[in-house]
Amino acid sequence: MKRYLLLLICFLGLEALAQKPVRVAVAGLSHGHVGWIFNRQGKTDIQLVGIYETNPVLRQRFIEKYKLDKSLFFTDLEKMLEQTKPDAVSAFGPINEHITVVRACAPKKINVMVEKPLATTYADAREIQKLAEKYKVQVLTNFETSWYASNQYVNDLVKEGKLGDIRKVLVNDGHQGPREIGTSNEFFAFLTDPVQNGAGALYDFGCYGANLMTWLLKGEKPLTVTAVTHQNKPDIYKKVDDEATIVLQYPKAQCIIQASWNWSFGRKDMEVYGNKGYAVAVNATTVRQRFQEKTPEETIKLDPRPAPYTDPFSVLAEVVSGRLTLGTNDLYGLPVNVTVVQILEAAKQSASQGKTVSLK
């Protein structure tokens, strides 16, 4: 009996250890999505241990808005990492600073999650991948569309062969524009900076289509990338594009990515056409599908994805704790997202030079 009790105590102790909150620090507060981490009432899977931000106005704004303890804040990234010893850092600053965060975290065995896209240049993306491999840490890229049950459902149709071979994919993403939807001044400043953000709508929303298409084709890279960008609103977006179309050509398939800050309303949808049928992910939980020419189209309503795929920080906690393992072809993972940045860089080059760019 005593032996049984001892084993039970050990088991419960290990279980409690496994459920211990993941220590998470935040690097930057300028990204508009950073509010997620402060609006997770009732969730205990992570513990916020530090916030790095050099802008005093931003620091004070967040202290007042979320009633945060001033002791959480640091103006030196290295000092924060040394004093708080986080298990993971979530980057919410300009995209070109992701590489700086990973350079600081990886040698200390600290995992990282960044907002999409992974980097502004292919060189930075490759360096991030090499650092992650060298120090055996996870670097995740958060995409809202990775939470969508509809995208998972369409991918299952592809894997099961119900659509046949993929021939054409259309991915439409964007909204009316950062200024039009009321982003903060700090977020607007880096979104419209060609260095900090890489480009305008081309990077901000083109990354979604590149991410989904690379995932659908199990990591395959396009043969060529062709892109056209434009400034429909140069009075607002003086330095970057607000309209972009990217065409990815594969040996037997084509993907058209329409990234825009000029849509009538916000949208994130995907159409996948195979030689046996098609499926359209209308929104996070709605799919229109048709498998035979003589049968009518049907609409499928799906339940939202289950936990942890309802919250990026829950995904981060599951990965860092070892309860969730990312495959080599994961929407969050490095293999897919390094290719995403390679595609975006080629698209930027294509638009600038007015010609198709080969990825051979």
Of 120, 109, 64, the residue nearest 87 (C-alpha): 109
pTM (two decimals):
0.94
| Residue-level pLDDT at 4 | 53
Find out whether 62 and 26 touch, Cβ atoms under 8 Å. no
pLDDT in tens, 163-221: 999 999 999 999 999 999 999 999 999 999 999 999 999 999 999 999 999 999 999 99
**pLDDT at residue 16, rounded to an integer:** 44
Is the pLDDT at 70 greater than 80? The verdict is yes
Q: Which of 102-106, 110-114, 307-311, 329-333 has the lowest mean pLDDT?
A: 307-311
Distant-in-sequence, close-in-space partners of 314: CB < 8 Å, separation ≥ 6: 43, 45, 307, 308
Residue with more model confidence, 118 or 14:
118
Provide the residue ranges of all domains of the chain, joining segments of one domain with +: 2-144, 148-305+333-358
Contact 207, 258 (CB under 8 A): no
Domain 148-305+333-358 sits in CATH at 3.30.360.10
Q: How far apart are CA 225 and CA 357, in angstroms?
A: 5
Please give the pLDDT value at position 165: 97
Q: Is 154 helix (H, G, I), strand (E, B) or coil?
A: helix
Q: Are strands 357-358 and 224-230 parallel, antiparallel or unpaired?
A: antiparallel
Region 238-267: mean pLDDT is 98
Q: What is the C-alpha separation between 100 and 185, in angstroms, rounded?
A: 23
Residues 58, 186 contacting (CB under 8 angstroms): yes
Topology of domain 2-144 in CATH is: Rossmann fold (3.40.50)
